[in-house]
């Protein structure tokens, strides 16, 4: 602290765009939680400098060129204590600097750059022969495990954690629950079947409220033997301990009329998590979309007074880090209208047109 005062070193001197990009690369290399997306976006916006603020697309840009290397739980073999025993975070930072994955010239709270800190420590780097952090020549996944998803179910974005073990696509029918507790009850009652896309909605920043973290649903699905047989979508968020085909932070959230609010049991949903696609689509016609949108009414807020009620009035979307001291972006309808049609939707419309033409030919 004395050094910081003497240097007049402020948080904004450390919280640079490059520093946040370092953090994103560290998350990608180590297979970190989807929560990193939410928190790093919020932290970057607190600097109140548009040149520093990061977005979902910054995560995707870095994910596209950063390999997933750490064989860590919940999808891998080791835990963070094992990383500590082979050189710890400093060793990993040195490895990343040496491989042009990390900007070592960024300032730290010591008053020195990462590179100078390592030099003063005389840190040897990662232990030779260790197999926790894989070499660049043998990654767990050639690109990052976090994907920023779009499509007609999440036109404002969503965050998927795809380690490569879940596959890159999933097509199934919707099984819809309006909160986490109902989903857990449905699982106990054996309502959830293989091949379904389980949706837990009204758990977003306003609907939750607070974008509550969920570990129980994914753990219970794994325990029921459905981990590789269903997909899970939510406008809430998952714990860092979650694994499986899980996509959270879906924006706009259901509480404000986002597309997730319009899904019904049995609706066909296609998830394409290939890096070049990154879409989640509800395969219904435009006319059906409009009919459901006209019929939908928002459920009552779960809070009607106090601090949480104040929070609901000012919280931004998950894609904006759920900050509470800024004006949010466009409404749910504006976000949806601005989104381009994805290949799955275009394919559906083309098929509908083809069937209509066939019907027209045989009509008397």
Beta strand extents in the chain (DSSP E only): 146-149, 157-161, 169-177, 196-200, 213-214, 231-234, 237-238, 246-251, 268-272, 279-282
Q: What Å distances lie between residue 59 and 31, 112, 158, 241, 350, CA to CA?
A: 13, 26, 12, 20, 33
Q: What is the DSSP letter of 77?
A: S
List the structure tokens of 308: 């949480």
For residue 288, the SS3 value is helix
- The string of DSSP letters for 169-215 reads EEEEEEEEESSHHHHHHHHHTT---TTEEEEE-S-STTTTTS--EE-
List the structure tokens of 318: 């998950």
What's the CA angle centered on 177, arms 174 and 179, to 5 degrees?
145
List the structure tokens of 213: 């973290």
- Positive or negative CA dihedral for 185, 188, 191, 193? positive
Q: Rounded CA gap, 125 and 94, in Å?
A: 6
Catalytic site residue 239?
A: yes
| Catalytic hit among 239, 242, 319, 336 | 239
Active site residue ranges: 239
């Amino acid at each position: 602290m004395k050094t910081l005062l003497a240097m007049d070193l402020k948080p904004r001197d450390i919280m640079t765009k490059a520093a946040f990009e370092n953090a994103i690369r560290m998350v990608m290399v180590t297979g970190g939680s989807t929560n990193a997306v939410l928190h790093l976006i919020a932290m970057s916006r607190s600097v109140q400098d548009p040149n520093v603020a990061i977005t979902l697309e910054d995560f995707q840009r870095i994910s596209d060129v950063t390999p997933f290397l750490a064989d860590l739980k919940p999808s891998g073999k080791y835990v963070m204590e094992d990383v500590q025993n082979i050189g710890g975070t400093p060793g990993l930072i040195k490895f990343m600097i040496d491989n042009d994955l990390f900007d070592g010239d960024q300032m730290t709270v010591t008053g020195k750059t990462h590179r100078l800190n390592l030099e003063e420590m005389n840190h040897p780097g990662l232990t030779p022969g260790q197999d926790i952090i894989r070499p660049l020549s043998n990654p767990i996944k050639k690109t990052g495990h976090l994907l920023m998803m779009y499509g007609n179910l999440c036109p404002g974005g969503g965050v998927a954690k795809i380690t490569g073990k879940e596959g890159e696509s999933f097509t199934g029918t919707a099984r819809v629950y309006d909160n986490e507790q109902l989903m857990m009850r449905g699982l106990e009652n054996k309502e959830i079947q293989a091949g379904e896309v389980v949706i837990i909605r009204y758990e977003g920043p306003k609907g939750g409220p607070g974008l509550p973290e969920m570990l129980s649903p994914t753990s219970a699905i794994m325990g029921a033997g459905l981990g590789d047989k269903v997909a899970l979508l939510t406008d809430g968020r998952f714990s860092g301990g979650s694994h499986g085909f899980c996509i959270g932070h879906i924006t706009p959230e259901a509480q404000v009329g986002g597309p997730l609010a319009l899904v019904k049991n049995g609706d066909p949903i296609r998830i394409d998590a290939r890096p070049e696609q990154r879409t989640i689509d509800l395969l219904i016609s435009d006319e059906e979309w409009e009919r459901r949108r006209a019929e939908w009414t928002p459920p009552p807020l779960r809070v009607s007074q106090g601090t949480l009620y104040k929070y609901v009035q000012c919280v931004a979307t998950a894609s904006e880090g759920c900050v509470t001291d800024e004006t949010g972006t466009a409404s749910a309808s504006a976000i949806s209208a601005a989104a381009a049609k994805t290949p799955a939707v275009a394919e559906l419309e083309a098929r509908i047109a083809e069937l209509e033409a066939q019907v027209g030919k045989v009509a008397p």
